Amino acid sequence: MTHPPHELIRSGAIRTSQAVGEALASGRPVVALESTIFSNLGLPAPANADALHSCQEVLRAAGVEPAITAVLDGVARVGLQPGEEERVLRATTKLAERDLAVAIAQEIEAGVTTVSATVSLAHAAGISVFATGGIGGVHRGVDSSWDISADLDALAHHPVITVCAGAKAFLDLPKTLEYLETAGVPVLGWQHDWFPAFYTRSSGLPIPHRVETTREVAAVLRNRLRPETGVLLTVPIPEEHELDASELQAKLDSALAAADVQRVTGAAVTPFILGLIEQETAGESIPANVALALNNARLAAAVATELASGV
C-alpha cells in the first residue's frame, strides 16, 4: 500500500535514493528508518554505525529496501546513496517535522531526522512502514511545561505504520496513550498485552488492541475511517535484552531530576536522559537499544512485505 508522491518529491526538495525509487516504482517493500538513532545524538560510536548497518542488513535480508531519512546539503533525503552514511553518523543537527522546511530553505549541510520528520518524509515518498526505537510523547510535568513531542501529532496526520518499542520510559506514558486515543491513532500490541516502555517489555499499562499477524496489521491500516491517520505498532524489547525495571526506574528518576536542575527542555531532553542512563547502567542500555531497534526492523520488514503483497 503506497500513497501518491508529494509535490516536494517532484520539485526536488525531497529526493529518494536510486534504490528506494526503483523499489517503490516496482512495488517492492520499503521501510523508512529515522537517522537520529544512528547519530551520536542517539547512540555513541561505534554502536551507532553498527546499528545503522545491522538494521539495513536485517531489512535487505528480508527482501525489503531500507530508506534512511536525513537532510543533506539542503535536500530532504529518503534513502541514502552509497558512501553517505558517514555524514549521518557525524551529524549533530536534529530535525523534527517542523524543522524540515527551514533546513531545506537554509540548505543545511547535514541534519538527522526524528520520528515526526521521518513519518512525514515517508508519507511524502509513498512509504507505508517506518521502524524506529521508541517514540516521543507527553512529558512529565506537562501541566506546566506543555511539552508534548511532535511525534504524536505526526502519527495522527500521516498514514504510516510506525513500528516501535513503545515510548521512551521517562515520559508520562498514561498521558501519551490518552493523547493517541484522542487523536484517533490505533495503538496495537504485537502478540503482547501491555504497552512497552522501551528498555522494558511492559509499562504496566494495557495495550488497546492486541494483534497476532501481519495480515491483521495491514488490515488495520487499510480499514481506518480517518485515512490521514497513522497506526502505532508496538513490539516489546526481546526478553534477553530487557533491563531490570525497578533499577531502571530509580535511574530514570535521577536523570529526570538532573534534567530539571540543569533546565534541559524540548528536543534536548531525550539525548540528555539517554546519555545519563547509559552512564548509570555502565553501558548496558546501548546493546538493549540496538537490540530493540533490530527487533523492530524485522517486524517492520514483515509488515511491509504483507502490504506489498496486496492480500
Q: Which residues are catalytic?
A: 34, 168
Torsion of CA 258, 264, 268, 273, to 10 degrees: 10
**Please, are residues 252 and 269 in contact by the beta-carbon 8 Å criterion?**
no
DSSP assigned state of 41: T
Q: What is the rounded distance in angstroms from the CA atom of residue 72 to the CA atom of residue 264?
A: 27
Residue 213 cell numbers, joined? 499477524
Q: What is the rounded distance in angstroms from the CA atom of residue 269 to the CA atom of residue 43?
A: 15
What is residue 36's three-state secondary structure?
helix
Q: What is the rounded distance in angstroms from the CA atom of residue 231 to the CA atom of residue 181?
A: 11
Q: How far is CA 168 from CA 151, 220, 257, 291, in A?
A: 12, 24, 16, 15
User: Across the chain, where does the E strand assignment appear?
Assistant: 14-16, 30-33, 65-72, 75-78, 94-95, 110-113, 129-131, 161-164, 187-190, 209-211, 231-234
What is residue 123's three-state secondary structure?
helix
Helix (H) or strand (E) holding 54: helix 47-61
Q: Is the dihedral of CA 212, 138, 130, 268 positive or negative?
A: negative
